[in-house]
Structure 1
Amino acid sequence: MLPISACLIIRNEEKYIKRCLQSLPDVKEILIIDQNSTDNTLKEIRSLKKDNIKIFQRANIGNADPMRNFLYSLASQPWILALDADEYLSKKTKSVIPYLIDLKPSYDVFWFFFENLVEGKNIREILGDDPHPRLFRKGALVWPTTLHTYPEIKSPFQFWVDRQYKIIHDRTLEDIRKSHKSRTKLLDPRARQQELVFLKKLMAFLGVEDNLEWF
């Protein structure tokens, strides 16, 4: 098994959680904070019958970011692989991870490019390349508690993984609507305006009527 703790913070992800977990390489442990899911998320996880999954229950605060540092502190392994439930590793990405953590000279943080899909359509022209640090040594970064911000990187030894090894973020417009409604009060005015601009571009790209009251 790889010396990696896969870490997820979830709520009501019954549609996606098995796909995410089944895409993981053979890691030592999978740590999950569940924010009081009310659907069949936990049932789906348990159906996988994985002995290396540990689930921690926490109250739903509408935002995963304040819990990230706490979750990473629980990791028993030197490497952390951070994913959201509606993300998953491509087969090529899954196969390259063992080589990344053994690279010489070694690195502490690996950035991955994303393939962002909404309703099955690639929205790269809206989000751009959208790289994120998702594989890193424990302690190599600290996550701010504010919503949708990049972490503070503690190490200069970073590596941008080739685009062929991507993480896939696949969701529906309805998922985005629910997510936006649940967190909009947590955003500061500038971030809220940026999100509204993104939503307008997304609806235009998908050919959906521009009616932000829907959100």
Structure 2
Amino acid sequence: MQEPVRVSVVALDPVLEAGTRSALEGCPEVRPVSVEQRPDVTVVVVDRVADPVLDLVRRTRASEHRPEVVLVAAELAPAEALHAIATGARGLLRRRETDGPRLAHAVLAAAGGDCAVPPDLLDGLLEHRAEGAASHVPDAWGAAGLSDRERAVLRLVADGRETSEIADELCYSVRTVTTVLHNVTQRFRLKNRAHAVAYALRAGLL
């Protein structure tokens, strides 16, 4: 018999944390544990997907045992979902739609390497990408808060170009290119230019 998936719950509200753990305890395929017990999956319960939440997702994924993350939020728009996925969330759920079986399904999917996203939210993500193909409609990069200049620079970084080559290609100064990359990494709390490209690739934006 397969061992249950070990899952921990993190929430700023102790009541939400207790309620989420209680919901999971009724599902035999998963076993709630503490963060110190090396969970396979961590469920993060929040109100909105803001920078501190994205930082929490990154820290959780970067911890020694690297658990998968399922993010449960009260509000979850497509642009926020893109950020969450890019920072390492494997599952996304809205709190009002989440019960024990649905949360357990997302946890099991994350543990198995799959990604669980509400169908309407998935449609929204696909629409963002489809809109990016039309020049007269803002694309997913725009939804993520990137300008045309930032997008152009990151695409050339993804192609392996050096800073001076990017400057020549786009007719910018080297300082301008450096500033653009610095602004992107600071805004999205990324470590460096390679992390910026990885962020874009994981979110399906490049």
Higher share of residues assigned strand: 1
TM-score, normalised to structure 2's length? Answer: 0.31
Q: Which has the higher contact order (CA 8 A, sep 6+)?
A: 1
Larger C-alpha radius of gyration, 1 or 2? 2
